[in-house]
Amino acid sequence: MPYRLANGAVLAAAIGLSLLAVQQYSHLLPGSAKTFSADRERCYAVVRASRNDCGTAKHACAGQATRERSPEEWLMLPAGTCLRIAGGQLKAGG
């Protein structure tokens, strides 16, 4: 009999944690947040060749960076990350 009680407690805890995760990371339950807030910013001069996110005055498409760490090329990163990267700038051209 004690095994049934222990198994029930473990099962209830697993279901509770699953519902909590669904509420936190989705919009399925009534108490969930209406929007996700993931602030992002453009980070210039940290791009590797052919790894940029979008176009510049020299080209119009992602993945066309020709130089490493070009001051015009950028990546979209989580807010606050850019200035932690060596050489990262929030404005084009430095």
Amino acid (1-letter code) at residue 57: A
What is the dihedral sign for C-alpha 28, 32, 35, 40?
negative
What confidence category does residue 39 fall into, taking pLDDT thresholds of 50, 70 and 90?
confident
Mean pLDDT value of segment 16-25: 84
CB-based burial label for 92 (10 Å; 0-12, 13-18, 19+): middle
Contacts of 65 (CB under 8 A, 6+ apart): 47, 48, 49, 50, 51, 52, 73
pTM to 2 decimals?
Answer: 0.53
State the pLDDT at residue 16. 92
Which amino acid is located at 67 in the chain?
A: R
